[in-house]
Amino acid sequence: MQADIAPFHAIAISRLAHQLQAQGRSIIHMEFGQPSTGAPRAAIETAHRVLDTDGLGYWESPALKARIARHYADTHGVAVEPERIILTCGASPALVLALASSFSPGDRVALARPGYVAYRNTLKALHLVPVEIACGAEDRFQLTAAHLAALDPAPAGVIVASPANPTGTVIADAEMAAIAAVCRARGIRIVSDEIYHGLSYVGPARSMLEFEPDALVVNSFSKYFSMVGWRLGWLLVPPAHVHRARAYVGNLFLTAPSLSQHAGLAAMDCRDELEGHVAVYRQNRQLLLDALPSLGLAKIAPPDGAFYVYADIGHLTDDSLAFCEALLRDTGVATAPGVDFDPVDGHRFIRFSFAVSTAEVEEALRRLVPWFAARAASPAPSPGR
């Protein structure tokens, strides 16, 4: 039995963007959620030193696991044994590990729609059944306890994300507690994607561990720590799940890159530098929010965190993929089509990433304002019309 996995359309947009760039076009990359900055200076210095002194074999850093455990104590007030932390080659393998080691083929797992494209497709690849729940503006594009309470039968699991991709919305503390309570009562296992922690503009994001100690938590060095290409993440599992998860990770992925583990440990103490990145994102976010009216984009998800604006373009098109391609070809600004994140309603949404430089955001807006104005004056015909 083969799983039917949809393509990640933003990758095709990015491929076209790089082709145009190779032809000499000026391209602004707002299609992917990756920081335009590199790893912290101390992380890079550590990597240089390690390359000269370490053979870099298979290894899991006890010091890094202990440092991550301290992070949960310091930031969330949660005591975590380092042995519960499994280092992975980024958040994507951590998600695969969480799902593969926690559920059986045919199990139903709930998730918000819109949501990160890989949730749906990873579930399908593992022969699990995604139960997508439509979450609109009235729900701040997030799952609620009421959604989970209404599912009949109860799913085996649920994936939550706060801040979320593509919307940047954050789940309120009371709702997090309510979700945890419903899941406990109904036997629903929680997988919490916390990859955007540290990137919040409405106060610190809460970990699901504060509300449900047995949640599986996915995190990564890619976003806040600006270490996308280093491929380093972790999965935090309940004590009773450690042995099973370690059996899976050892067979599927071996270990995370040794060099990245050394660098990641150094990065965790580079807060001043990293908070400087957040200050740039905050400024970029405000620039976009101020400019959205002039683009004619009045309906957006509240970008509480992460580095995205998810905007309704339904008044201009019902084909977000074609819209993003036309936008790229005409302006050189690459964006992500909403259909990646929502196969039902995403045809009328677009996602902007503001994890670029402020100068790039300003230049993008100079290009976008007249383009959107022209589009509003003469919207493209919908397919089949």
Q: What is the DSSP string of 361-376?
A: HHHHHHHHHHHHHHHH
Whether the bond into 204 is cis, omega within 30 of 0: no
CATH number at 349 reads: 3.40.640.10
Domain that residue 114 falls in? 56-269
- For residues 276 and 320, membership in a common domain is answered with yes
The reported pLDDT for the residue numbered 331 is 98
| 206: DSSP letter | P
How far apart CA 365 and CA 360 sit, in angstroms, is 9
> Which residues have a Cβ under 8 Å from the Cβ of 285 and sit 6 or more positions away?
201, 303, 307, 309, 354
- For residues 157 and 259, membership in a common domain is answered with yes
- For residues 139 and 116, membership in a common domain is answered with yes
2 within some domain: no
| 200: DSSP letter | B
- Name the 3-class secondary structure at 225: coil
- For residues 152 and 259, membership in a common domain is answered with yes
How far apart CA 77 and CA 73 sit, in angstroms, is 4
382 within some domain: no
- For residues 25 and 116, membership in a common domain is answered with no
Domain endpoint, select from 241, 269, 297: 269
- For residues 227 and 94, membership in a common domain is answered with yes
- HSE toward the beta carbon, residue 176, CA cutoff 13 A: 22
Domain endpoint, select from 269, 291, 316: 269
The reported pLDDT for the residue numbered 378 is 76
The reported pLDDT for the residue numbered 380 is 60
How far apart CA 164 and CA 144 sit, in angstroms, is 13
The reported pLDDT for the residue numbered 381 is 55
Tokens of 70: 């301290």
- For residues 240 and 325, membership in a common domain is answered with no
Number of domains in the chain: 2
Positive or negative, the CA dihedral 36, 117, 132, 223 is: negative
43 within some domain: no
- For residues 110 and 244, membership in a common domain is answered with yes
194 within some domain: yes
- For residues 32 and 78, membership in a common domain is answered with no
Residues of the chain with pLDDT under 50: 383-385
- For residues 153 and 168, membership in a common domain is answered with yes
The reported pLDDT for the residue numbered 5 is 78
- For residues 168 and 279, membership in a common domain is answered with no
Radius of gyration of the chain (CA): 21
In 129-145, which positions are buried (b, 16+ CB within 10 angstroms) versus exposed (e)? ebbbbebeeebbbbbbb
E strand or H helix at 64: helix 62-76
